[in-house]
């Protein structure tokens, strides 16, 4: 079977987008997604995203496979790319704002008309059972909680943006051996559904530098949910302001953890890379 796809990226976090608007079942299996994401044997991407019919009154639904074939609840850079993809598909009839059903609830991206998409990412979940993690009692928060990884004790703060994040503040992000330490965090037994891990350097109270090891994808150039979780963790630990620029290897995101409604807002780019057809094996 041959499928049409479009590749987009958000700050180098890249995705294969598939127009699946006429069927609730994704036209690619998780095994096929692994192959499509392969940078040597496929198209190459951090994940495959499906634009599916809406449900419960939403315009559309989003599902995503990570490059290892696992299915996360949400993807921040991915939902900006999805909004741009839908707008490109709809042409003159495109909306400027979409209500998208995800496994993390309804998420609302808004195209700003300048190449950037502002996303209402919802209210972060902080209780240990919601992450999930056993680092604290089920109905308590894990904030600056010690965790031993690679013979070193890290102060870890856990935040769910629908998907799990473990955030640790460090002096120098460049010095973190991400390739070796990332998988140890991801598969640590205190995270029963694995975790994304963000290492954060506070440059100023309103400017953070971040490197990320993503669950199911490894090192990526950016992670939208991770940047949101990092600012929430920074506010909880007193490390940063509620509005921050987060610098990632692929570029910058603007994040606001609103004092008014306790929701997190993320603004960043979504860019078309190329379109193509590929035969699924």
Q: Which of 77, 133, 168, 201 binds ligand LBFN2T5F (CB under 6 A)?
A: 77
75 is catalytic: yes
Structure tokens at 88: 């490109």
223 is catalytic: yes
Closer residue to ligand LBFN2T5F (CB): 147 or 253:
253
Q: Is 216 in the site for ligand LBFN2T5F (CB under 6 A)?
A: yes
The partner residues of 252 in beta bridges, in order of sequence, read 247
Q: Is 76 in the site for ligand LBFN2T5F (CB under 6 A)?
A: yes
Judged by DSSP in three states, 207 sits in: strand
The single-letter DSSP state of residue 199 is: E
- x/- map, 1-20, ligand LBFN2T5F, by CB under 6 A: ------------x-------
Binding-site positions for substrate:
13, 66, 76-77, 163, 196, 214-215, 224-225
Q: Is 214 in the site for ligand LBFN2T5F (CB under 6 A)?
A: yes
For 113, counting Cβ atoms within 10 Å of its Cβ (0-12 exposed, 13-18 middle, 19+ buried), the class is: exposed
Stretch binding ligand LBFN2T5F (CB under 6 A), from 33-41, 74-82, 169-177, 256-264: 74-82
Residue written as token pair 């495959």: 48
Residue 138 Cβ vs ligand LBFN2T5F, minimum distance, rounded to whole Å:
21
Q: What crossing angle do the helices spanning 76-90 and 224-236 adopt, rounded to 10°?
A: 140
20 vs 243: CA distance, rounded Å: 35
Rg of the chain taking only CA atoms, in angstroms: 18
Of 129, 160, 159, 124, which is closest to residue 144 (Cα–Cα)? 159
Active site amino acids = 75, 223
Residues that bind ligand LBFN2T5F (CB under 6 A): 13, 66, 72, 75-78, 163, 196, 214-217, 220, 223-226
């Amino acid at each position: 079977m041959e499928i049409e796809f479009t590749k987009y990226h958000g700050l180098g976090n890249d995705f294969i987008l598939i127009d699946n608007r006429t069927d609730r079942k994704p036209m690619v299996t998780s095994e096929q997604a692994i192959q499509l994401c392969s940078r040597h044997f496929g198209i190459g991407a951090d994940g495959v995203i499906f634009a599916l019919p809406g449900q419960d009154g939403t315009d559309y639904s989003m599902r995503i496979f990570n490059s290892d074939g696992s299915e996360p609840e949400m993807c921040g850079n991915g939902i900006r790319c999805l909004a741009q993809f839908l707008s490109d598909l709809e042409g003159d009839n495109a909306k400027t704002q979409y209500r998208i059903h995800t496994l993390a609830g309804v998420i609302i991206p808004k195209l700003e008309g300048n190449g950037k998409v502002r996303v209402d990412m919802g209210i972060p979940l902080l209780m240990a059972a919601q992450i999930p993690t056993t680092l604290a009692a089920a109905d308590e928060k894990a904030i600056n909680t010690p965790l031993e990884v690679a013979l070193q004790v890290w102060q870890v703060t856990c935040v769910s943006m629908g998907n799990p994040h473990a955030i640790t503040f460090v002096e120098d992000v460049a010095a973190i051996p991400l390739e070796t330490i990332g998988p140890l965090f991801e598969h640590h037994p205190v995270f029963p559904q694995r975790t994304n891990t963000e290492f954060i350097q506070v440059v100023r109270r309103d400017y953070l530098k971040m490197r990320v090891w993503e669950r199911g994808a490894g090192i990526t150039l950016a992670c939208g949910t991770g940047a949101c979780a990092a600012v929430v963790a920074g506010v909880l630990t007193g490390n940063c302001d509620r509005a921050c620029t987060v610098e990632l290897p692929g570029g910058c995101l603007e994040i606001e953890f609103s004092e008014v409604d306790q929701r997190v807002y993320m603004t960043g780019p979504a860019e078309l890379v190329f379109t193509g057809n590929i035969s699924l094996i």
